[in-house]
Amino acid sequence: MRESSRPGTLRPQPGGRRARKRRSAADSGPGPANPLLAVRLPAWRSRMLLFALFCGFIALAGRVFYLQGGLSTQFLQRQGEARYARTLDVAATRGTITDRNGVVLASSVPARGIWAIPDDVATGKRDLAQLARLLEVPSTELRRRLAADDRSFVYLKRQVEPDIAQRVESFNLAGIHTSREFRRLYPEGAITAQLLGFTDVEDRGQDGIELAFERTLAGRHGLRRLIKDRLGRAVEDDWVREPVEGRDIQLSIDNRIQYIAFSALRTAVEANQAEGGSIVVLDVASGEILALTNWPSFDPARRDRMQPQRVRNRAVSDTFEPGSTIKPFSIATALEAGVVTPQSTVETAPGWIRIGGRTISDTSSHGLLTVEQVLAKSSNVGTAKIALQLPAQALWDTMTAVGFGQAPRAGLTGAVAGRLRPPGSWREIEQATISYGYGVSVSLLQLARAYLVFARDGDIVPVSVMHSESPAPPVPVLRPQTAQALRRMLELAAGEEGTAASARVSGYRVAGKTGTARKLRDGRYSDAYVASFVGFAPASNARVVIAVMIDDPHRGRYYGGDVAAPVFAQVVAGTLRALQVAPQAPALALAATDATTDAR
């Protein structure tokens, strides 16, 4: 039987839909092949990749074990603490320096340091510019500091006024902090500058008293531990070690006398167009330094304007040939040895003498002089003749006994010993020149101390810049009779018959000696001079020794009697009034007053 077929009925085809698709694809012909499917990779590359991944896994596992296994715990703790904790150095209050009467000469006042952690600073340009204006620091400089290699700490400005620091804190800038500091103040400024010295930005002594007594004044700094949050804000702080405040010191300086000496010296140096000058005032009873000043000076509050030649304490660190101010020691040695008496005569005519092929001369021929007159007239010829009657050792012994050739232990930095060669090497001409102040060098402080032996009846005490209720015991050098004889001679030298009439002071008897010496330059004596005067007052019962040195005066005057003696008179008058020493003599001639007025 055949199958029937009806219109509209579909017959199923062999293979179904998938077969039809395969036939359709086959009928369409061959297509293009995929190149990626055609590449066959070598097996070693897959193994290498697998090995690299395995090595990376092992390295990562080793690193995890190193970090978590305790092998680097201390290092990681230090690194972590560096990001949230900091130990700050906290300055101790520096001790105060006062004069003998309690007047403050140097003190410390609170200040603030502005510092930053550059890694924590996220300040915009506007805030940075505002901070720069407040700190008076150029914006470029501020950005340079914040870009420093040390990203954990940098100072932006030191010793800032507290009110400025408070305004900085009010900005609440991330990474910007303040710390406690101190700033040194010197109320007397240039008057005591070289004596006191100064401190650096860390409040450490750099010169003068500040350096000499650093350990006493500085105390000990403290340590403070600061913990901050992730925004750089301080959240906790505590003391690791509290600071120990510095101790105060009291100097022997009398601020009133210091001002008198400074004013007189500055006026004299400027009036004589000199290179500089110094004054030392000593208390005869104790050896304490009542005043020590120099000109030119400087303002310790303006460190940016400091000049090395102005910072130097000339009275302590500079030496010069003392000239005729050394003659009293030569004559005192001769009196001690019994070679001469005050009334012995010495022939000085014709005003010069030849020794060893060299000529020693006076400014004029004085003829026959007594020993007293030799000193009053300041005769080089007469002094040399007297000194050559002595053993060199005797002259050297006297000079070393009063401190020449030895640095004074006065508590001051920079003190020098000067130059005094051993007597065994002296030739005859050298003994002669040393006797009147050439071939030997001294500081002004040494020279002032040496004159204590005449003001104190032949003994001497150490000089000191510290005030003490119990002075050091004196050391005898000369017999009291010799010291008294020299006092009379030095009073004549400061009188009408001497070379220093302008040293006289109305109402007081004074004694002293002038000095005028050429300056050595490049090993030769030049036309520049050092004018000096050293003396004491009142002559009958001395209270103070005053030494004045004017370096290289011009204006046509260079003798010690013309340049330094009037300054001595001015300082003596002011000092004795400050010490309330009653006048002991009637008013002297008007010439003395005129000389004092000229010094002003």
Catalytic residues: 324
Specify burial of residue 484 (Cβ count, 10 A radius: 0-12, 13-18, 19+).
middle
Backbone angles phi, psi at 243, to 5 degrees: -70, 150
- What residues contact residue 141 under an 8 Å CB cut-off, 6+ apart? 132
The C-alpha atoms of residue 415 and residue 29 are separated, in whole angstroms, by 115
Distance, CA of 272 to chain centre: 28
* Type and span of the H or E element at 22: helix 16-27
Please name the residue that has the structure tokens 């001395």: 542
- What residues contact residue 579 under an 8 Å CB cut-off, 6+ apart? 257, 543, 544
Nearest C-alpha neighbor of 278 from the set 324, 328, 320, 327: 320
Answer for the pair 371, 356: CB distance below 8 angstroms, yes or no.
Answer: no
**Category of 405 on φ-ψ map: left (φ > 0), alpha (ψ -120 to 50) or beta:** left
DSSP string, 208-264: HHHHHTHHHHH-B-EEEEEEE-TTS-EEEEEEEE--BPPPPEEBS--HHHHHHHHHH
SS3 (DSSP) at 298: coil
The C-alpha atoms of residue 243 and residue 221 are separated, in whole angstroms, by 5
The C-alpha atoms of residue 450 and residue 21 are separated, in whole angstroms, by 131
